Structure 1
Amino acid sequence: MEAKSISSVQNPLVKHILLLKEKSRERKKSGLFVVEGQRELELAQKGGYTLTTFLYCPEIWPDHHLKKILGNSSPEIIQITQPVYEKLAHRGTTEGVLGILKVKEHVLESIRFKNKQPLVLVAEAPEKPGNIGALLRTADAAAIDAVLIANPKSDLYNPNIIRSSVGCVFTNQVGMGSTEEIIHFLRSNQIKIYCAALSASKNYVDCDFTGATALVMGTEATGLTEDWLQTSDQNIIIPMQGEIDSMNVSVSAAILIFEAKRQRGF
């Protein structure tokens, strides 16, 4: 596979990649995003993402590994020098490889359930990339059916989300929409809505999550909006024994998800 080469950090493509990493507006305008690291690139391609450009530093990542990471894809291949790689890479431990990929739309209409009784995680208005990444990582660990993000505040292809999810942004079925759209989607699919909330709540271990279930999480600061609370089939709570009344949203979601999985015999 013949490769072009870039040795200057002033190269236009290098500047474009930096913009893609730093600016959500640039990602949305171009429909492209950047991934670094072999594992993340392999997960993205396995998840059906199109790799348009592959960059590697031969001093770190030997040419003979190309076939392994590219598989049947045929992106533009570019060799980069170590100074260029260090300019582009956020981490020095990403094996000397980066890729430019096409974004997906994540419309609710594209969600398909393989299980008759799907288990879905809904996160309303999550802002912190680290929390979103952790939620996606937990969703992958439990192999749930979908993650739905209502009223998203962060671009799903923010490098911090990709990094904190360790590539699980690519392994989950992710849908995005307004709270109203997601409530309609859940109702249309006869999925029962369980909202994590402090008021009128039932201990989560006393709930039956074996049917089609959506576990709905709000932000740590404000919780869920009234639309969710009014449409909830049952509010649920994780009892606290300390001085505070809430936990990190990703920790709470993990507790609820794995209780649902336990009830389902997994």
Structure 2
Amino acid sequence: MPILPRRFERLRAVLNQRMANLTVLVEHVDKPHNLSAILRSCDAVGVLEAHAVSLSGRSRTYNSTAQGSQRWVPLHDHPNIEAAVQTLKDRGFHLYGTNLSVDAVDYRDCDFTGPSAFVLGAEKWGLSENATKLMDTDVFIPMRGMVQSLNVSVATATLLFEALRQREAAGLAPSDGEGIPAENYDDLLFEWAYPDVALWCREQERAYPTLNAEGEIQEELPRNAKLRC
């Protein structure tokens, strides 16, 4: 069944505000509630995708806190923190690690208008020693209370919304798809609108069909593919 035009327009409007140059990397954050809340914040701000290094043998689950955001913000796995950091640096990201080091900078004094990746560790022990050595800048969120740290999902939301605030103030928050590489936009829109058909296309190693302005597939598909619409 073709997607309803109103639904398609909603998907396109959200995708048009996504930012490929803002992301989150979490290290050993495996609690379902925390992961779910982090992805929900990513979705709310307009993060295109997130990254994770998980503890060995831990299966990933989400709870109702995510509100389905894991469908809209893919979480890419990396085998270790070194590989994850290298991937992000190769893409031009500046890595901001949450760490109370002597050189840490108040997050409000940082410039997050460029490619920015926030790197956070598990709430109990924070970033690993290996991770802290690989960061470009250590950042902290000032506290006025007796407890000197935030829940990792709250810290993530705080940093992400500051990045969004800065970008909006600088006129850099995308509104018409300019936050996504042009060569990826149509494929992402198709995957959002027809995820099952997109999976079938990948299995068949074929390009995605084109869509018209109302989101209808402009190609006659085999019956087994039509059933996935």
TM bracket (short chain): 0.5 to 0.7
Could you report, residue by residue, the CA deviation over 1:45-83 in whole angstroms, capped at 9, with x for unpaired residues? xxxxxxxxxxxxxxxxxxxxxxxxxx459xxxxxxxxxx
1:145 matched to 2:45? The reply is no
The whole-number CA distance in structure 1 between the counterparts of 2:150 and 2:92 is 29
1:119 corresponds to which residue? 22
> Match for 2:76: what amino acid?
G
* 2:81 is the counterpart of 1:182: no
- SS of residue matched to 1:205: helix
1:241 match: secondary structure = coil
Deviation at 1:233, TM superposition (A): 0.8
Structure-2 separation of matches of 1:174 and 1:126: 12
Paired with 1:72 and 1:163, the residues of 2 have a C-alpha distance of 28
Q: Name which of 170, 174, 181 aligns with 2:71.
A: 170
CA distance, structure 2, for counterparts of residue 168 and residue 207 of structure 1: 27
2:71 match: secondary structure: coil
Higher relative contact order (CA 8 A, sep 6+): 2
Contact kept, 8 Å, 1:152 with 1:176, in 2: the verdict is: no
Task: Give RMSD over aligned pairs.
Answer: 1.9
Determine which structure has the larger strand proportion and give its number.
Answer: 1
Q: Tell me which of 203, 216, 226 is aligned to 2:119.
A: 216
In 1: Cα distance, 2:135 partner to 2:83 partner: 15
TM-aligned CA deviation for residue 210 of structure 1:
0.6
Q: Equivalent residue for 1:155?
A: 59
Is this contact kept in 1: 2:98–2:118, CA < 8 A? yes
Quick one: which amino acid aligns to residue 124 of structure 1? E
Structure 1 partner of 2:158: 255
- Matches of 2:162 and 2:89 in 1, distance apart? 23
2:117 is equivalent to residue 204 of structure 1? no
How many pairs align? Answer: 152
- For residues 204-225 of structure 1, the C-alpha deviation after alignment (integer angstroms, 9 at most, x for no partner) is 0000111100001111111101
Higher alpha-carbon Rg: 1
- In structure 1, the partner of 2:96 is 194
1:22 counterpart residue number? none
TM-score by length of 2: 0.62
Instruction: Work out whether 1:131 is the aligned partner of 2:34.
Output: yes
Aligned-pair identity (%): 32
* Per-residue Cα deviation, 1:84-112 (whole angstroms, up to 9, x for no partner): xxxxxxxxxxxxxxxxxxxxxxxxxxxxx
Tell me the distance in 1 between the aligned counterparts of 2:126 and 2:52: 14
The aligned amino acid for 1:234 is: T
The answer to whether the Cα contact below 8 Å between 2:33 and 2:63 also exists between their aligned partners in 1 is no
Does the aligned pair in 1 maintain the 2:29–2:123 contact within 8 Å? no
Unaligned runs of at least 5 residues, structure 2: 4-17, 174-229
Structure 1: which 5+ runs fail to align?
1-70, 74-113
**Cα offset, 1:152, TM superposition:** 4.6
User: CA offsets, 1:10-60, max 9 Å, x none?
Assistant: xxxxxxxxxxxxxxxxxxxxxxxxxxxxxxxxxxxxxxxxxxxxxxxxxxx
8 Å CA contact 1:194, 1:233 repeated in 2: yes
Higher helix share: 2
Aligned amino acid, residue 209 of structure 1: F
Ranges of 4+ aligned residues in structure 1 off by more than 3 Å:
none
How far is 1:162 from its partner? 4.4
